[in-house]
């Protein structure tokens, strides 16, 4: 059984010497947003150019809301999905991997969500109809203009389906049954045994990202509190 070398990120650089470099051991990168944004930034796609106000797009780094621990923070994203296809994401670059190495990458992600489970909504369920994905790319994932819309320059799939560079890890429904008073909860998501492939650059760097692909035609609010990526050569 292979051992894993675990690396903790400070500001998007791995703070320890990579003892796993140059062999077949998995390398695990942990990005903790609870006390620092880690240099990650947010973006939106799958909506018309000029539609930011109409879609009520919002992204910042802020404290979690009660009953969660408000001394902890996360990347907060919000948007009103008028297009039935809104993508809201965060991204960051990590370093310290082997140069020019192809990896299979698995993910764990923690979100904070106040969406009850089992509810129905316009276009799809407000919880189960909002798919959470995580991905890895050799180029910076960003929204670009295509035919009057903002679209991603990497294949993250569409709604509940993953793509070449992103994999489904879950949805935003929490443990509160529909009909009860909504409350914020932390939810841990995982890609399980599934993975995406990425090749590091000459400096041992890759881009990571996570986001929601929505089929629910109304407002979704979500925090990202941490992410773990396991790189298997």
Indicate whether 16 belongs to any domain.
no
So what's the pLDDT on residue 120?
A: 86
DSSP annotation of 182 reads P
> How many domains is the chain built from?
1
So what's the pLDDT on residue 216?
A: 82
Indicate whether 20 belongs to any domain.
no
Indicate whether 106 belongs to any domain.
yes
The three-point CA angle 214-122-141 to 5° equals: 10
Domain that holds residue 145: 39-232
So what's the pLDDT on residue 22?
A: 52
Q: Smallest Cα–Cα separation from 89: which of 195, 189, 224, 186?
A: 224
So what's the pLDDT on residue 78?
A: 97
Report strand pairing: 206-214 vs 130-137: antiparallel
Indicate whether 173 belongs to any domain.
yes
In order along its 233 residues, the chain shows pLDDT tens digits of: 333 333 333 333 333 223 344 567 899 999 999 999 999 999 999 999 999 999 999 999 999 999 999 999 999 999 999 888 899 999 999 999 999 999 999 999 999 999 999 998 776 789 899 999 999 999 999 999 999 999 999 999 998 899 999 999 999 999 999 999 999 999 999 999 999 999 999 999 999 999 999 888 789 999 999 999 999 99
So what's the pLDDT on residue 159?
A: 87
Report strand pairing: 173-177 vs 115-117: parallel
User: What CATH number did the domain enclosing 67 receive?
Assistant: 2.60.120
End-to-end, the C-alpha distance of the chain in Å comes to: 15
Encoded tokens for 89:
């994401």
Indicate whether 59 belongs to any domain.
yes
Indicate whether 33 belongs to any domain.
no
Please identify which residue in the block is written with the tokens 């180029």: 139
Indicate whether 10 belongs to any domain.
no
CA contacts within 13 A on the Cβ side of 163 = 21
The three-point CA angle 185-190-194 to 5° equals: 160
Length of the chain in terms of residues written: 233
C-alpha 164/C-alpha 176 separation (Å) is 33
Cβ-based neighbours of 83, under 8 Å, separated by 6 or more: 46, 47, 48, 51, 55
Indicate whether 30 belongs to any domain.
no
Cβ-based neighbours of 49, under 8 Å, separated by 6 or more: 145, 148, 149, 150
Beta bridge partners of 222: 77
């Amino acid at each position: 059984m292979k051992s894993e070398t675990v690396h903790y990120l400070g500001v998007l650089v791995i703070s320890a010497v990579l003892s796993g470099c140059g062999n077949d051991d998995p390398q695990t990168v942990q990005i903790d947003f609870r006390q620092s944004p880690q240099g990650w930034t947010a973006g939106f796609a799958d909506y018309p150019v000029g539609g930011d106000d109409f879609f009520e797009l919002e992204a910042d780094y802020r404290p979690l809301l009660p009953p969660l621990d408000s001394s902890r923070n996360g990347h907060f994203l919000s948007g009103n999905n008028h297009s039935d296809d809104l993508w809201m994401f965060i991204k960051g670059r990590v370093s310290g991997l082997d140069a020019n190495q192809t990896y299979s990458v698995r993910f764990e992600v923690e979100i904070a969500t106040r969406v009850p489970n089992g509810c129905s909504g316009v276009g799809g369920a407000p919880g189960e109809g909002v798919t959470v994905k995580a991905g890895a790319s050799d180029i910076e994932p960003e929204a670009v203009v295509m035919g009057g819309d903002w679209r991603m320059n990497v294949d993250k799939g569409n709604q509940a389906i993953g793509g070449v560079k992103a994999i489904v890890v879950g949805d935003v429904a929490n443990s509160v049954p529909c009909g009860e008073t909504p409350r914020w909860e932390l939810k841990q998501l995982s890609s399980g045994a599934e993975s995406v492939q990425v090749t590091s650059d000459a400096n041992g760097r890759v881009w990571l990202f996570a986001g929601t692909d929505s089929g629910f035609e109304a407002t979704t609010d979500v925090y990202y509190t941490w992410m773990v990526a396991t790189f298997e050569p």
